[in-house]
Amino acid sequence: MSGNLRKAVLLVIDVQNDFCPGGKLEVKEGDKIIPVINQIMGKFPRIVATQDWHPQNHISFASNHKDKNVFDSVTVNGIEQTLWPDHCVKGSDGADFYYLLDKRFFDLILRKGTQPELDSYSAFFENDKTTSTGLAYFLKGLGIEDVYVGGLATDFCVFYTAMDSVKLGFNTFFVVDASRGVNVPEGRVEKAVRDMKNAGISVVNSKELIFM
Ligand code: VGL
Ligand code: ZN
């Protein structure tokens, strides 16, 4: 790992009420990552936080599909879509950042999944794999070389963000203790971590960053 974080950014992915315990799409122990993220944010010169930010008629909501259940899969416009409970409806309390997350560190807040017909797990590209969120241009414009990723959920938005990051040529780091996953079906988080490693993403613990 490089000896300094000068050209690094931390991406804080979707640390929102709906993904934390008590939320509409709660991730087990999702709140456990908050002290970790709050602590490491102080180490980074740049922080970008994302919010899943859906309209009520979003295609990812099972409630918007006839005779479909949560966790079913459908194909919309040629793109496979997992169906979720209604979550992170733009402007709702569930879409707010989790209350203990220290928002003062954020340089940029990026909202994604805002189009009714298209979901966006990655913070870089929407799920059609071509529609850019603009984040790559922002980071490249700042001369960022190293991208650290943490947040919710390991096996969805964190995973797709990290995979796009490495494909875009950034040195990419998955901060394992700053993330938790949905893990449905069981084993999905483990597979996501394996796939990230195989793609050249470094798996790091926040403790390794404390001394940088
Ligand atoms: C996410 C499922 C649906 C995530 C967002 O942030 O990982 N997961 N929408
Ligand atoms: Zn979503």
- Could you tell me the CATH number of the domain that includes residue 16? 3.40.50.850
What are the helix (H) ranges across the chain?
Answer: 34-41, 135-141, 159-167, 188-198, 206-209
Whether residue 129 lies inside any domain: the answer is yes
Whether residue 80 lies inside any domain: the answer is no
- Proximal ligand: closest to the CA of 14: 1
Nearest CA to ligand 1 atom 4: 157
Tell me which DSSP letter residue 142 carries.
T
- Distance from C-alpha of 110 to C-alpha of 198, rounded to nearest angstrom: 28
Residue 52, ligand 1, Cβ within 6 A = yes
- Distance from C-alpha of 155 to C-alpha of 121, rounded to nearest angstrom: 10
HSE value, Cβ hemisphere, 13 Å, CA-based, for 139: 29
Range of the domain at 106: 8-58+86-210
- Distance from C-alpha of 99 to C-alpha of 38, rounded to nearest angstrom: 12
Q: Which of 11, 12, 13, 14 to mutate to test the pocket of ligand 1 (most atoms within 8 A of CB)?
A: 14
Looking at the structure of the chain, the number of domains it has is 1
Q: How confident is the model at residue 5 (pLDDT cuts 50, 70, 90)?
A: confident
Dump pLDDT digits (tens) for 191-205.
999 999 999 999 999
Whether residue 34 lies inside any domain: the answer is yes
CA 158, chain centre distance (Å): 4
Whether residue 75 lies inside any domain: the answer is no
pLDDT at 135: 98
Whether residue 94 lies inside any domain: the answer is yes
In this structure, are residues 84 and 60 in contact, taking their beta carbons and an 8 Å threshold? yes
Whether residue 115 lies inside any domain: the answer is yes
Q: Note if 20 is an active site residue.
A: no
Dump pLDDT digits (tens) for 129-186.
999 999 999 999 999 999 999 999 999 999 999 999 999 999 999 999 999 999 989 9
- Lookup: tokens for 2: 């490089």
